Amino acid sequence: MSAFIPYFIAIFRNQTKPQKTSWLVWAALDTLALTGMIKEDVVNGQIVGAVCCAWFVFLLAVKKGKPGWTNLDRACLLFGFAGAVLWIIYGNATSGIVAASVGLIIAAIPTFKSAWYTPEHENKLAWAIFWISCVFTLLSVESWNINSGSQPISFFIIESVVVGILFFKKRKA
């Protein structure tokens, strides 16, 4: 959760413009994943912090982020929320956790695009801390299975892509 501190500060200073599509889907699917992880007794601290803070970032994104919804936003919302539908259809926590994890990655596309084209709208320090938390969460998984591993792996993929773009993409002079 410590990564959210510089992220919140950057949002309030108008230095970061969170992508509301990503944060809405992340908040909703994190909540879905947390529910499934509680049912399967594999909850970790990262998902608990993510749920609480992602909803707050979404609310800030509505107020301070880019207005409107693009076609990409709508497509990511559709595919992202497909995870919730799959859980309802199949009725088990594992399908919900996996679908939510895949949906989280799909929902990251607007943030990937933002980091690529307008990196100044993303906070490098926050994303670096997010990435470090993902490494530690992966290292802390005690018993690897689809229920305990899907969420930390999907978070790690998302954070790795954003950090890779923000820190390693060559910028035009």
What is the domain range of residue 136? 4-168
How confident is the prediction for the chain on average, in pLDDT? Answer: 85
Q: What is the pLDDT of residue 83?
A: 66
Q: CA–CA separation, 4 vs 133, rounded Å? A: 11
Residue 141 domain flag: yes
- Residue range 96-150, pLDDT digits in tens: 778 778 888 888 888 899 899 999 888 899 999 999 989 998 998 888 988 888 8
- Residue range 59-70, pLDDT digits in tens: 998 988 777 777
Residue 79 domain flag: yes
Residue 114 domain flag: yes
Residue 144 domain flag: yes
Reading the block at residue 151, the tokens are: 């969420």
**For the chain, percent of residues with pLDDT exceeding 90:** 24
Q: What is the pLDDT of residue 127?
A: 92
Residue 173 has pLDDT above 70, yes or no: no
Q: What is the pLDDT of residue 55?
A: 93
Residue 98 host element (H or E)? helix 93-107
Q: CA–CA separation, 72 vs 82, rounded Å? A: 15
Domain count, the chain: 1
Q: What is the pLDDT of residue 157?
A: 96
Q: What is the pLDDT of residue 97?
A: 76
Residue 88 has pLDDT above 80, yes or no: no
Exposure pattern of 32-52 as b/e (b: 16+ CB <10 Å)? Answer: bbbbbbeebebbbebbebbbe
If one compares 153 and 77, the residue with the highest pLDDT of the two is 153
- Residue range 108-121, pLDDT digits in tens: 888 899 899 999 88
Residue 173 domain flag: no
Task: Compute the average pLDDT of residues 20-29.
Answer: 83
Torsion sign, CA atoms 77, 83, 86, 91: negative
Residue 80 has pLDDT above 60, yes or no: yes
Q: pTM higher than 0.85, yes or no? A: no
